[in-house]
């Protein structure tokens, strides 16, 4: 996989490393079997904007074992760069199959982030879908959570004590990826998956765009119309970096 997410101040060091959901689940299942951990980040344009501005975020992202394409623009840019086999793997869409895989392997699961009511509702939703799943830890951090601070250390200790080997992290970027990288270094046998609002979709705290909206690659517009005050600026920044990303992808393809 080549890196096309560079900028004028240097390379981000980030590449999409996961071909598709089937390949991701196959590798994570193998890691469940052999007792090794992992960390999964789901790359979208908002993350790319933050990666270009935040060196600590870049370092955390680069420490992840798996990076998926979470967003059609990322897929399209990968294809333009020559990564023809990359398909869309949103974080919200790996929760259910990965929960099933954990249940199949007898892996304890932890939910970390969001808010307590949402986590409880998400846990109930996962148990309804997968009666054999063992959700052994639910933990919502306080406001102002530092992903490498004392509360993070306490969360890592709780994960270790619970025997959890798969943790879904719902903190939003860049906190969730920074926490995953920090925790993975301490608990190399545990898998961490950053899924943003994914648990809120399961709990019903947030509503995902209908399937037909996702099919026409307009989920971003659906979300922006639902919360314009928070998202208009974010998406404007994402659109602004598309020309440079397109050129980087073309250049990567030529070099390849």
Contact 167, 190 (CB under 8 A): yes
Token duo for residue 126: 């996962």
pLDDT score of 8 more than 50? no
Average per-residue pLDDT in the chain? Answer: 90
pLDDT score of 93 more than 90? yes
| Superfamily of the domain at 21-67+86-207 | AF0625-like (3.40.50.10700)
Cα-to-chain-centroid distance, residue 28: 14
Average pLDDT on 67-96 reads: 93
pLDDT score of 56 more than 70? yes
Confidence at 7, pLDDT banded by 50, 70, 90: very low
Output the pTM of the full model: 0.92
Confidence at 59, pLDDT banded by 50, 70, 90: very high
Q: What percent of the chain has pLDDT over 90?
A: 72
Token duo for residue 14: 């980030």
- The confidence score (pLDDT) of residue 3 equals 57
Average pLDDT on 172-189 reads: 97
Read off the pLDDT of residues 106-154 as tens digits, 9 standing for 90 and up.
Answer: 999 999 998 999 999 999 999 999 999 999 999 999 999 999 999 999 9
Read off the pLDDT of residues 196-248 as tens digits, 9 standing for 90 and up.
Answer: 988 887 877 777 777 877 787 778 777 777 888 887 888 899 999 999 999 98
Sorted by where each begins, the domain ranges of the chain are 21-67+86-207
């Amino acid at each position: 996989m080549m890196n096309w997410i560079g900028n004028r101040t240097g390379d981000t060091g980030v590449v999409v490393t996961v071909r598709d959901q089937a390949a991701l689940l196959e590798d994570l299942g193998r890691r469940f079997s052999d007792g090794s951990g992992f960390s999964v980040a789901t790359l979208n344009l908002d993350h790319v904007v933050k990666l270009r501005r935040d060196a600590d975020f870049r370092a955390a992202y680069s420490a992840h074992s798996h990076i998926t394409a979470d967003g059609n623009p990322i897929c399209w840019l990968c294809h333009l760069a020559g990564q023809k086999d990359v398909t869309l793997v949103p974080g919200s869409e790996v929760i259910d199959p990965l929960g099933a895989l954990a249940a199949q392997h007898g892996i304890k699961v932890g939910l970390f982030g969001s808010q307590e009511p949402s986590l409880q509702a998400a846990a109930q939703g996962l148990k309804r879908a997968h009666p054999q799943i063992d959700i052994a830890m639910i933990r919502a951090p306080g406001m102002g959570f530092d992903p490498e601070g004392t509360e993070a250390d306490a969360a890592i200790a709780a994960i270790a004590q619970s025997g959890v080997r798969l943790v879904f992290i719902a903190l939003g970027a860049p906190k969730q990826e920074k926490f995953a990288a920090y925790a993975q270094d301490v608990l190399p046998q545990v898998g961490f998956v950053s899924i943003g609002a994914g648990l809120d979709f399961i709990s019903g705290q947030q509503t995902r765009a209908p399937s037909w909206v996702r099919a026409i690659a307009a989920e971003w517009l659906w979300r922006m119309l639902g919360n314009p005050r928070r998202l208009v600026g974010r998406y404007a920044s994402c659109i602004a970096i598309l020309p440079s990303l397109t050129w980087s992808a073309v250049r990567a393809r030529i070099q390849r």
